[in-house]
Amino acid sequence: METFPEKGRSWQHGASRAHRRPARPERGGAVAATIKDVAASAGVGIATVSRVFSGTGAVSAATRERVLAAARDLHYRPSAVGRSLKTRRTGGLGLAVPDATDPFCADLIGGVLDCARTLGQHVLLDATLGDPAREAEIADRFAEQRVDGVIAVPSGTGDPWEGFPRAGVPLVFAGRVPSCRTWTGRAPAVLADDAAGIRSAVEYLVGLGHRRVGFLGAPAPGTPPDVREDAFRAALTALGVPVEEDLVARARPTRDSAYAAAAGLLQRRSDLTAVLASGHLPGEAAVLVARELDLRVPADLSIAMVDDVAWAELCDPPLTAVSRPARDLGYRACELAARGGVRRGPSGPVLLPTELVVRGSCGPAPSRRARH
C-alpha cells in the first residue's frame, strides 16, 4: 500500500483523516502521546477524554472503554503536573510515622501502600522520630506540597496537624491519637482496640494465679496515662487485684529508657511474678533484663507484651503477645483519607479487634517467696 509523507509522518493511502491513528510513541525519546492523540484515536472530543480520566461528568460505558483502549494502545498517561496545576493538589497522600524501621510502623506503612496502589494514589512518607519539632516540620512540608490528605501516627499532642482539617485537607490518625487526654476527636482515627487487648492479657495472667503483675512502659513521668495504662488498672480493679503504684514502670519510647525501666522494676520488686509490657520495646527490655538476672521464663517470671512482632515467636520460650492488626490499620486509614476523611456509620474512632496470642512465656504463678 502506498504511503505519502506529510510533515514527517507516514499515512496509509486512503485512510480517513479524522480517524487516523497517531504513531505509537517509541522507546528512546520519541514524543509521548497527548490527550489530543487519544481523542482522535477514540473518535471523541478532548473534553470526553478529560471526563474519563478525571472521573467527573457523564460518559457512557462504551465510550469510556473506547477511550481507555485508545490510551492503552498509545501508552498514554495523564499528566500529573497538569492535573496538579488545575486542582492545586499533588494527587498524593502524606504519611508520617514515628520510625519507618519499627516493625509495627513498617506493617502499617505496607497497608497504606497497598490501599494507595489500588486507588491510584502515591504516598509521601516521612518519619518524625518522636521529635515534636521534626513532626511540625513534616506537617509544614506536607502543607507546602499540597497533599490531598494526611495519615499521621502522632508523636505528641497532634497540634502540628490541626491546620489540615481547617484547610479542607482530610486528616486521619492511625494507630494512636494525640495525647488522649487532650484529643477531642476533631479528626477521624483508625485504632486497634488496645483496651480490649490489655484486658484479655491481664485476665489471662490473673487466671494463672498472678497477683503481683508489673506494667512496663507506661507513659513517662509528667505525661497523662494512655489507653493501655488505664486499661491495665481497670482490668486489675475489676478482677479484685489491688493496683500497686510501685509495679507501674514508666519509660520514654526508646530502647535505653525501656531497658532502664525494666531493670529498675525487676530489681526493686523481687516478689514480682509477671510483667505486661505496653509495647515491643519494653517487651524486648523485659526479656533482656530477666536473662541478665538469671530469671527463668516462665518458671520465675511470666512475660507478655503488646504487639506480636516477628521476633516474639523466635524467643526461647516464645512470647505471649497482644496482636494488633497494623497492616489493616494502615489500609483502613488510607481508605478513610482518600474519601475525604468522612467516616460512614457511628461517630468515634474506627476500632479494629486485637487478639491475645498465647505462647510459652506465661505460666502459673510461682509460690509466694522473694527471688534470690
Q: Which three cell numbers stand for residue 141?
A: 512540608
Give the CATH class of 16-78.
mainly alpha
Tens of pLDDT, residue by residue over 50-94, are 777 765 667 888 898 898 898 888 888 765 545 544 545 556 899
Q: Does the domain spanning 194-324 belong to CATH 3.40.50.2300?
A: yes
In the 8-state DSSP scheme, what is residue 99? -
Q: What is the CA radius of gyration of the chain?
A: 28
First to last CA, the chain: 98
Cα(22)–Cα(199) distance, integer angstroms: 66
Tell which wins on pLDDT, 165 or 300: 300
Tens of pLDDT, residue by residue over 238-284, are 999 999 999 999 998 899 999 999 999 999 999 999 999 999 999 99
Tens of pLDDT, residue by residue over 328-353, are 999 999 999 988 766 554 567 899 99
Q: Model pTM?
A: 0.74
DSSP result, 170-216: -EEEESS-STTTT--SSS-EEEE-HHHHHHHHHHHHHHTT---EEEE
Tens of pLDDT, residue by residue over 194-241, are 999 999 999 999 999 999 999 999 998 877 889 999 999 999 999 999
524467643: which residue's cell?
315
Tell which wins on pLDDT, 322 or 188: 322
All structural domains of the chain with their residue ranges: 16-78, 90-193+327-352, 194-324
331: how many CB neighbours lie within 10 A of its CB? 23
Q: Which residues pair with 122 in a beta bridge?
A: 92
Q: Is 5 helix (H, G, I), strand (E, B) or coil?
A: strand
Tens of pLDDT, residue by residue over 124-163, are 999 999 888 999 999 999 998 889 999 999 987 668 898 8
For residue 24, pLDDT beyond 80: no
521464663: which residue's cell?
297
For residue 317, pLDDT beyond 50: yes
Same fold, 16-78 and 194-324: no
- CATH homologous superfamily for 90-193+327-352? Response regulator (3.40.50.2300)
pLDDT at 28: 47
Q: Which three cell numbers stand for residue 270?
A: 523481687
Average pLDDT of the residues of the chain: 85
